[in-house]
Amino acid sequence: MLYLYFAKGYDQAKITLAKFIEGLKPYLSEDDKQKHCQASFSILDIDRDGQLNVLNLLYLFGNLRRNSKLGAELFRVIEFFLERNIFDKSTKKCPINLDLYLKLNYYKMCMNEEIRLRFLGIIDGRTMGHLNIQKIG
């Protein structure tokens, strides 16, 4: 997913360090949670049309573990998508955009926390250097 995001959908594209750092910039600011969510949604939106369609959802869900946090988030979205757009013929079709994704997942995206922790070393505004991590065992 990250490769497709940084490569802008092109296969076998080179991702420079500058491009990688530029892609992580939205996650640096502590105050702008909306920017974090927009960046994370862009990573999930493989075809870059501002919506998650059935092909995006199937690709993502097929490549994620179902018991992961992101897999659970996507499963809620897929259930809604199937119920609203496939099974229920009487209601108007409902595209999955950022606002609906956040609503279905209680206005949180686990990808925000993961990217901030794994790539930037930030946990709730603190860098990992300020934490007292002890080994257990």
Question: What is the model's pLDDT at position 67?
Answer: 85
Average of pLDDT values for 12-27?
A: 90
Q: Is the confidence at residue 28, as pLDDT, over 80?
A: yes
Radius of gyration (Cα) for the chain, nearest Å? 17
User: Is residue 16 included in any domain, yes or no?
Assistant: yes
Task: Give me the number of domains the chain comprises.
Answer: 1
User: Is residue 137 included in any domain, yes or no?
Assistant: no
User: Is residue 135 included in any domain, yes or no?
Assistant: no
Question: What is the model's pLDDT at position 37?
Answer: 92
Question: What is the model's pLDDT at position 57?
Answer: 86
Which of 52, 76, 54, 63 shows the shortest CA–CA distance to 1?
63
CATH number at residue 13: 1.10.238
Label residue 39 by pLDDT band (50, 70, 90): very high
Which of 57, 45, 48, 38 shows the shortest CA–CA distance to 109?
38
User: Is residue 136 included in any domain, yes or no?
Assistant: no
Average of pLDDT values for 64-87?
A: 86
Instruction: Say what the pTM is.
Output: 0.79
Domain that holds residue 13: 2-130
Counted residue by residue, the chain has a size of 137
